[in-house]
Amino acid sequence: MKRVRKAVFPVAGLGTRFLPATKAVPKEMLTVVDRPVIQYVVDEAREAGIEHFIFVTGRNKAVIEDHFDIQFELYDTLAQRGKDEQLARLQRLQPSPGQTSFTRQQVPLGLGHAVWCARELVGDEPFALLLPDMIMQSEKSCMKDMVELYEETGNNIIAVQECDPLETHKYGIVGRGEDTHHGFRITEMVEKPKTGTAPSNLYINGRYILQPEIFKILEGQERGAGNEIQLTDAMLKLEKQQPFYGYHYQGRTFDCGSPEGFVEANVAFALWRSDMNQNMAGVIRTLLDELKPSERRGAAF
């Protein structure tokens, strides 16, 4: 069984839901408190023991590559000004030489196509796939637990969480089979099932460990929903050849691909920090008090 050493990050999306903010700044570089969204996802992979970070990019995404490079002028300025703590923090987040690779998707043909674009960089190895819109908050990283489950089973792993049963039509949903190790066997996968037909309320939350055979399937995969090459369609074909296991993640997940989820993540991570939580809690309470109907002089919601 090969170890999971590589992770793929699809970062070619245009971020249209955040316009005009994303007109010149990639949505992955929007900050949650004081770190770009993509940094949280890379840190999660690093905690899981990932050694090689593969970014599938598009046009106007060069700033992501710059973010993970050494900034000599900045580092020198911080050193000269005695900003040792800030400098040390940046250096801790800095990938080592050769740990990052970048490839272009070039045409927006969906998640499955983005994953296929990483095939030469991944090679014949299992790999982690982390969707950068989704950031996690827990004491132990989601991907770290997934890698441990992979080491127990040696097969494909998908992270899932519970959603409101009335909202299963919004997500990719899995069927739950027998428990195994600290996960369970996935019996089926359904993309956005019709209301009342979902096999469970466990939705796929944007974290995967996949075997390299997925690339051969994606190479010949026909376009599906949205006229795009869908990863779920390819996983359904791979599932006929190899088992899939589910990891039931118990932490919080924030969809930073939506403005509401992005704001929620900023609030949650600010409250999670010991140097900010008391001040932010007071600010939030004040804002909530100011929004009470009686305080708004009859203004309509």
Per-residue pLDDT of the chain (301 residues; tens, 9 = 90+): 899 999 999 999 888 899 999 988 999 999 999 999 999 999 999 999 999 999 999 888 899 999 998 888 998 899 989 998 989 988 888 888 889 999 999 888 889 999 999 999 999 999 999 999 999 999 889 999 999 999 999 999 999 999 999 999 888 899 999 988 789 999 999 888 888 899 999 999 999 999 999 999 998 877 766 667 889 889 999 999 999 999 999 999 999 999 999 999 999 999 998 888 889 899 988 888 887 665 555 544 4
What are phi and psi for residue 132, nearest 5 degrees? -70, -15
Enter the tokens of residue 202: 């466990």
* Buried/exposed code over 75-99 (b: 16+ C-beta within 10 A; e: otherwise): beebeeeeeeeebeeeeeeeeeeee
Question: Are the CB atoms for 165 and 199 separated by under 8 Å?
Answer: no
> Among all chains, which residue has been given the structure tokens 């106007």?
60
pTM of the model: 0.89
What are phi and psi for residue 6, nearest 5 degrees? -120, 150
Question: Are the CB atoms for 111 and 210 separated by under 8 Å?
Answer: no
> Among all chains, which residue has been given the structure tokens 């089926």?
188
Question: Are the CB atoms for 129 and 210 separated by under 8 Å?
Answer: yes
